[in-house]
């Protein structure tokens, strides 16, 4: 069974870039250190925030359909919970490592903080290829993994959500497992669930919608008058498709998209309805007759107004940053821009909306889902979209003002705000006992 990405990632995202120079967690610490320097964080506070609070490794058996028993390895990591319960997705991928889970947990702390959510950051994962499991095996694995990490998760402690390789059905199994342990339904135990059991309206489109809101705000700030602005999207999964549709509705022109197999480009604009029909039949965007074939690398260097890298990490590096021709980058994927590429883009005047806010739409609406579950009172999708717009645009202008006032790039400004808020909470709470 091929599992759709629950925090709405595309098939291209299932390919994970391997960092050869430094680990993912070292890169996360490096970004934190830069922000800590900007805000003048004390050494004592810095030492605490550079490390994760908890890391749980579990090895658990699962009965397979052929009667055999396979032992899988999984993790749940909490980076910081000073601002509230931990929040973070669960990823199923064969090449996942503890190091990457730690990095993603830290990123979730800053992501929740920068948009003002009362959460800390966490992440979970199982080293497995979900596409190779039957539906029954996937359910057995999920329920056993949920049981193993149940000591950490819950509505007041740590709230999982879908991520790469997981989906609303996986969240439903986790919620049901926690509920069976508790003896009553606990819908707030996870977010990203089906609407039928307490999921939120607007959750599926939330990452793409948040990226769209930010792109439109940035275009206004930059006074870009391209008529219409053109867009290239790398990673045409749920996030990419949602963003493409919503940006088109807002008057922008999608000229290129790609997935793991390659991309398509039409400078006159892509017919998204025809492309989606082609994609359903062919299993990807390549071969679409109303556009020319391009590679993923070529897509990044197209002469467009907006570039949305929404696939894997480290696609914009020091090697190709000088060839990027977009005027605005909305970093839809985590760490799509490598650290060494940030100053190059900034010096060239390319405006970057960094990942910790660009793809925060999902966790913002997950927060709304958690709140709705806790109060057993649900909102209409229009209200959710309005609240999402308010939260994410307010955060954008907070970051923009910090960037301008401190004369630093947008990523560093976002991290500075996020780290300062977490540091404030950590210091005012003090050290127990």
72-121 confidence digits (pLDDT tens) = 999 999 999 999 999 999 999 999 999 999 999 999 999 999 999 999 99
Per-residue pLDDT at 12 exceeds 90:
no
Backbone angles phi, psi at 46, to 5 degrees: -60, -45
Could you confirm whether 220 is annotated as catalytic? no
Q: How confident is the model at residue 21 (pLDDT cuts 50, 70, 90)?
A: low
Q: Taking the mean position of all CA atoms in its chain, how far away is CA 303?
A: 26
Q: What percent of the chain has pLDDT over 90?
A: 91
| pLDDT value at residue 424 | 98
Per-residue pLDDT at 364 exceeds 50:
yes
| pLDDT value at residue 225 | 85
Q: Helix axis angle, 98-114 relative to 24-39, nearest 10°?
A: 30
Counting DSSP H helices and E strands in the chain, the numbers are 14, 12
Report the relative pairing of strands 306-309 and 328-330 from DSSP bridges. Answer: parallel
Residue indicated by tokens 């489109």: 205
Which of 53, 102, 111, 123 is labelled catalytic?
A: 123
Q: What is the pTM of this model?
A: 0.92
What DSSP designation does 92 have? E
pLDDT digits (tens, 9 = 90+) for 367-425: 999 999 999 999 999 999 999 999 999 999 999 999 999 999 999 999 999 999 999 99
Per-residue pLDDT at 4 exceeds 80:
no
| pLDDT value at residue 189 | 98
Per-residue pLDDT at 363 exceeds 70:
yes
Q: What fold does the segment set 11-17+51-197 form as a domain?
A: Rossmann fold (3.40.50)
| Cα dihedral 233, 235, 237, 238 in deg (nearest 10) | -50
Q: How confident is the model at residue 17 (pLDDT cuts 50, 70, 90)?
A: very low
Report the relative pairing of strands 69-80 and 120-126 from DSSP bridges. Answer: antiparallel
| pLDDT value at residue 34 | 96
Least confident of 9-18, 82-91, 93-102, 260-269: 9-18
The partner residues of 126 in beta bridges, in order of sequence, read: 74, 92
Q: How confident is the model at residue 313 (pLDDT cuts 50, 70, 90)?
A: confident
Overall CATH class of domain 206-353: alpha beta
- The residues of the chain that CATH labels 3.40.50.720 are 206-353
Mean pLDDT of the region 207-231: 95
**Residue whose C-alpha is closest to residue 357's, from 117, 90, 87:** 117
Distance in angstroms between the alpha carbons of the first and the last residue of the chain: 49
| pLDDT value at residue 373 | 98
Backbone angles phi, psi at 348, to 5 degrees: -85, 0
Cβ count within 10 A of residue 121:
29
pLDDT digits (tens, 9 = 90+) for 153-162: 999 999 999 9
Contact 166, 5 (CB under 8 A): yes
- The residues of the chain that CATH labels 3.40.50.10860 are 11-17+51-197
């Amino acid at each position: 069974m091929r599992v759709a990405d629950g925090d709405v990632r595309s098939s291209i995202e299932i390919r994970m870039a391997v960092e050869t120079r430094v680990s993912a967690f070292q890169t996360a610490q490096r970004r934190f250190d830069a922000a800590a320097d900007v805000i003048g964080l004390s050494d004592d506070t810095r030492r605490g925030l550079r490390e994760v609070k908890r890391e749980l490794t579990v090895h658990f058996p699962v009965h397979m359909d052929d009667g055999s028993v396979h032992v899988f390895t999984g993790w749940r990591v909490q980076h910081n919970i000073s601002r509230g319960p931990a929040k973070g997705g669960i990823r199923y991928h064969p090449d996942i490592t503890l190091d990457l889970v730690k990095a993603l947990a830290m990123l979730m702390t800053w992501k929740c903080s920068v948009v003002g959510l009362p959460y800390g950051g966490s992440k979970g994962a199982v080293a497995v290829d979900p596409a190779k499991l039957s539906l029954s095996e996937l359910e057995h694995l999920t329920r056993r993994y949920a049981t193993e990490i149940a000591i950490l998760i819950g509505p007041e402690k740590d709230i999982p959500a879908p991520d790469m390789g997981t989906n609303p059905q996986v969240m439903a199994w986790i919620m049901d497992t926690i509920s069976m342990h508790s003896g009553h339904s606990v819908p707030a135990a996870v977010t990203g669930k089906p609407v039928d059991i307490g999921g939120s309206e607007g959750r599926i489109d939330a990452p793409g919608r948040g990226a769209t809101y930010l792109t439109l705000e940035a275009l206004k700030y930059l006074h870009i008058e391209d008529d219409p602005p053109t867009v290239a999207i790398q990673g045409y999964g749920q996030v990419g498709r949602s963003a493409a549709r919503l940006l088109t509705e807002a008057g922008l022109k999608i000229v290129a998209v790609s997935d793991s197999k390659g991309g398509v480009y039409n400078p006159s604009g892509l017919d998204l309805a025809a492309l989606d029909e082609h994609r359903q039949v062919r299993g990807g965007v390549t071969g679409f007759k109303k556009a020319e074939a391009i590679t993923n690398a070529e897509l990044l260097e197209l002469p467009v107004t907006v570039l949305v890298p929404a696939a894997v990490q480290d696609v914009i590096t020091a090697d190709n940053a000088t060839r990027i021709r977009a005027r605005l980058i909305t970093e839809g994927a985590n760490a799509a821009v490598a650290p060494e590429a940030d100053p190059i883009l900034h010096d060239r005047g390319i405006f970057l909306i960094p990942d910790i806010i660009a793809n925060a739409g999902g966790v913002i609406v997950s927060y709304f889902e958690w709140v709705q579950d806790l109060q057993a009172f649900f909102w209409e999708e229009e209200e959710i979209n309005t609240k999402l717009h308010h939260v994410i645009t307010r955060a954008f202008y907070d970051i923009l003002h910090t960037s301008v006032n401190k004369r630093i790039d947008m990523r560093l400004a976002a991290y500075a705000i996020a780290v300062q808020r977490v540091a404030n909470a950590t210091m005012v709470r003090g050290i127990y006992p």
